[in-house]
Structure 1
Amino acid sequence: MPALIDSHCHLDDAAFDTDRGVVLSHAAEAGIDSIVVPAISARYWPRLRAVVATDARLFAAYGLHPMYLPEHRPEHLTALREWITRERPVAVGECGLDFYVGKLDVDAQIDFFTAQLRLAREFDLPVIVHARRAVDEVIKYLRRFPGLRGVVHSFAGSLQQAERLFANGFLLGLGGPLTYPRAQRLRRVAAALPLEAILLESDAPDQPGIAHRGQRNEPAFIGEVRDTLADLRQVSPTLIAQASTRNARALFGPPLMGVDESVTD
């Protein structure tokens, strides 16, 4: 089976503090050769950097997550520019909009989101986007930055929204929710998307698949997402793995670039 890339995993989370090495061993056994670790707030950037430094398969992204809006300050955007300059991450993020958590100020979310989009354009980096109940608004602001590229992780929108995002240079992250039979709309979207539009992700420690419901998620479990997507599309798991890995390498670039396996059935 071709190598897999976990395009979104919060491996710096405290849930992994007691057995992070074991989790990485599980990932290696599952054929995962790279893991992108996005940030959530400035307070945790040093911790993320320290975790990523422990393993050559880990790659950092730095950003300000909308759900942590109460922690964010305007000066964190200045600090983010400095971190990007010094640390050379593979992406800006996790950033975006969250309209599910009603207490989060929408205008402030938009200000932080668009500021991070500007930084991504300035540094020619992809963006890792959070869009919970806010896909149309996210598309609206992404369109103000033509040429920007990235991924909307844990995509849960419509096929039409997915097509608009892909047309504007953004891939769609698919993870554990896809494995639930009740996720009918998501499954229809995943089956209809061009393979060039998809990335596999765990979002660990959150969003485990149905086989691990109620448990802590791990990068190793994305093989189950791969197999589910293969079943939905009636193609081989090998084809899904090759496509997702190729897409991730093309999006995040060096140093994730590896031997690009040809995609076949």
Structure 2
Amino acid sequence: MRIFDTHCHLDFAAFDDDRAQVIAAAQDLGVERFMLLGVAKQQFDRLINVSQDFSNSCYFSLGLHPYFIEQHEEHHLGALESYLEAILADTQTRCKAVGEIGLDVTCGKPELQQTLFKGQLKIAAEYQLPVILHHRKTLDELLKAVREASIQRGVVHAFSGSYEQAAAWADQGFKLGVGGTITYQRAKKTRDAISRIGAEHLVLETDAPDMPLCGYQGQRNEPKRVLEVLNSLSELLQTETNELADVLWKNSVELFN
């Protein structure tokens, strides 16, 4: 069984004391690959270095996350493009997407959020890269912008919408990121949408060190717990675990080329 944690933040300070052990613990359970996410220009070099330190398993994306809006300036779009231009010149690059990007109504500076998001969609289209999307009460707005930018490949991270929204994103060619949310029985809308959309539209993720699973509230999340997400998803879809894992692995590898 091969597993890809398509969304984790292993470069964050929460893992500074035991990063190698955390990765090894996940690998021991079959988690072979990890996608590390860009969130701010100031973090890009650190992110790239961590990915290089664990080049047998870690890939990365670069993006300007709305949660860190206070760190962003409009000219950081140019910096992002410069990084991508240099990195993608290497045919063996481990950079596989633009992300984590999106819109979040709980964060400030909505006009700057819009400028950065649309600018990053344009960059992703130019470099033919998938996008990894953060949303908070913005799923429909994001889909409109993605359609206008002709982006047809990416992930809706931590999907938490309705079945109708899930189907619309699947029609756009996007995968839905499935993480700890489905381990909570109270997440009825999300669990219903995920159960109905079909495994071919899903990928696994943890968002480690954030988004702890049910039973681990208040604890640091880790990539090894993606196995528990897989088990919950297997029960939800009433599908044999190994068979499901194969589908999700294929989805992830094809998504990130």
Alpha-carbon distance in 1 for matches of 2:253, 2:9: 19
Query: Considering only aligned residues, what root-mean-square deviation do their CA atoms show, in Å?
Result: 1.0
Amino acid in structure 2 at the alignment position of 1:95: I
Match of 1:90 among 86, 96, 100: 96
Counterpart of 2:48 in structure 1 is 49
Tell me, what secondary structure is at the counterpart of 1:12?
coil
Alpha-carbon distance in 2 for matches of 1:132, 1:141: 15
Offset of residue 22 of structure 1: 0.6
Alpha-carbon distance in 1 for matches of 2:32, 2:125: 28
2:190 equivalent to 1:186: yes
Write the deviation string for residues 24-45 of structure 1: whole angstroms up to 9, x where unpaired: 1111111011100011100111
Q: Please say which of residues 118-127 and 65-74 is displaced more in the overlay.
A: 65-74
2:227 equivalent to 1:223: yes
2:12 equivalent to 1:13: yes
Tell me, what secondary structure is at the counterpart of 1:210?
coil
Counterpart of 2:119 in structure 1 is 115
Tell me, what secondary structure is at the counterpart of 1:191?
helix
Offset of residue 148 of structure 1: 3.0
Alpha-carbon distance in 2 for matches of 1:125, 1:177: 27
Offset of residue 95 of structure 1: 0.3
Match of 1:173 among 158, 162, 177: 177
Alpha-carbon distance in 2 for matches of 1:61, 1:147: 16
Alpha-carbon distance in 1 for matches of 2:243, 2:104: 33
Tell me, what secondary structure is at the counterpart of 2:166?
helix
Counterpart of 2:214 in structure 1 is 210
Counterpart of 2:106 in structure 1 is 100
Offset of residue 87 of structure 1: 2.0
Alpha-carbon distance in 1 for matches of 2:235, 2:146: 32
Structure 2 gap segments, 5+ residues each: 89-94
Amino acid in structure 2 at the alignment position of 1:62: L
Alpha-carbon distance in 1 for matches of 2:111, 2:169: 22
What is the number of equivalent residue pairs in this alignment?
Answer: 250
Alpha-carbon distance in 2 for matches of 1:3, 1:61: 21
Contact 1:27 1:219 (8 Å CA) reproduced: yes
Contact 2:130 2:151 (8 Å CA) reproduced: no
Alpha-carbon distance in 2 for matches of 1:25, 1:94: 25
Contact 1:146 1:168 (8 Å CA) reproduced: no
Alpha-carbon distance in 1 for matches of 2:152, 2:111: 22
Counterpart of 1:257 in structure 2 is none
Alpha-carbon distance in 2 for matches of 1:99, 1:240: 34
Offset of residue 147 of structure 1: 4.3
2:70 equivalent to 1:70: yes
Offset of residue 244 of structure 1: 1.1
Write the deviation string for residues 149-191 of structure 1: whole angstroms up to 9, x where unpaired: 1001000111111111111111100101110111111111111
Alpha-carbon distance in 2 for matches of 1:99, 1:157: 15
Write the deviation string for residues 54-90 of structure 1: whole angstroms up to 9, x where unpaired: 1120001000001111111122111101111122310
Alpha-carbon distance in 2 for matches of 1:201, 1:177: 10
Write the deviation string for residues 96-128 of structure 1: whole angstroms up to 9, x where unpaired: 011133xx1222111100100000000000000
Tell me, what secondary structure is at the counterpart of 2:53?
coil
Amino acid in structure 2 at the alignment position of 1:11: L
Write the deviation string for residues 229-254 of structure 1: whole angstroms up to 9, x where unpaired: 1101111111221111110101001x
Counterpart of 1:258 in structure 2 is none
The percent identity for this pair of structures is 38
Tell me, what secondary structure is at the counterpart of 1:181?
coil
2:162 equivalent to 1:158: yes
Counterpart of 2:141 in structure 1 is 137
Match of 1:250 among 248, 251, 254: 254
Tell me, what secondary structure is at the counterpart of 1:156?
coil
